[in-house]
Amino acid sequence: TRLRTESCRRILEEVNISLVRGNASEILALADADSTTKGVDASHSVEQAAETAKELAKQYSTAVAITGKIDIVTNGFLLQSAANGHALMPRVTGTGCTATAIIGAFAAVSKDILSAATSALSFLGRTRQKFMRTCSPDFSLYLVTDQRLSLGRSTEEVVQEAVAGGVSCVQLREKHLPTRAFIERARSLCAFLRGRNIPLIINDRVDVALASGAQGVHLGQKDMHISDARSLLGPSFLIGISAECLEDAIEAWQNGADYIGISPVFATKSKTDTAPPLGLDGIRAIRQRVELPLVAIGGINGENVNCVLAAGADGVAVVSAIVSAPSPAESAKQLREKIDKARQKK
């Protein structure tokens, strides 16, 4: 409101304030720039408010911090920024107040307000990322179905055996199944998996995911954009994104993906329309830059699963290693044992 904005300006004029924190719209409103914000709504980007923040800092001889998808801190001359945010954070009440409190704690033990604020927001960013990663489902052994490779067995039969062996997440991939049959199969698997607390992810089809009651959807680079999928599915739905390079992974992370499928790690016959294999170095590069759960897929089997996890993957996705095995249950069990042993060594 105008009363609150004027009160903030009067405080800045009469009191020696070390730092002002707000979202982009709040900072623009305080500087009397173009803004239609009400309350804590952030209708402007951080980039729009960066130059305004510098002028505001000079005007009141203070530091200004703008928090959002990208955090910016400036004293009017220097400007520091970091991509600490997450697309889902605006849906969490109180993150701005938390940022203010943490900045205050850091400032209390530092004479350099710019460094204190930057460090505080980096710390908060790391905790957000860690939370998003650790609160995710168990992606340790992620099965991707393929009816063509199932040796004549039904998808339901393969999934049931695989779950008995230790599969922790299932993606239903049915490229050629008619929509109604796809939904029916998804509902059948949902009924089986829900009681076992195992999420069902639908490949590509947001409509099937919604209609079937699945817990998530996995999208490729040419599928529906994640922002459109999120607007249809809501904040609680799992959305995974395939990444064929570091840039894909960073973009997915910044746009609010819940996990990233790194594809392909090794050459594979299960999927031939992918980019060249990323290899273990590709996993390491993405792990260094992205704090989301990483699920590696492509040519993964019992012989290389250990090195894939050691490179930074949180889980492995397999197709033929389970669906084409004589015993999906036994194959899943062997893979799960190797995954669990590799985790114990970390």
Question: What residues are labeled active site?
Answer: 173, 242, 271
Half-sphere exposure of 31 (CA within 13 A, CB side): 27
3-state SS assignment for residue 243: strand
Residues 338, 193, 241, 213: what is their CA dihedral angle, to the nearest 10 degrees? 180
Query: Which residues, other chains included, contact 14 with Cβ-Cβ below 8 Å and sequence gap of 6+?
Result: none
What CA–CA distance (Å, rounded) separates 81 from 162?
Answer: 46
Six-digit token pair at 311? Answer: 């490179």
CB 342 within 8 A of CB 307: no
User: How far is residue 144's CA from residue 177's CA, in Å, rounded to a whole number?
Assistant: 15
Report the distance separating Cα 94 and Cα 129, nearest Å: 17
Does an H or E element contain 66, and which? strand 63-66
Strand order in the sheet with 71-74: 19-22, 63-66, 71-74, 79-82
> 337: which residues sit within 8 A by CB, 6+ positions away?
166
User: Which residues, other chains included, contact 280 with Cβ-Cβ below 8 Å and sequence gap of 6+?
Assistant: 265, 307, 308, 311
| Run of H or E residues at 74 | strand 71-74
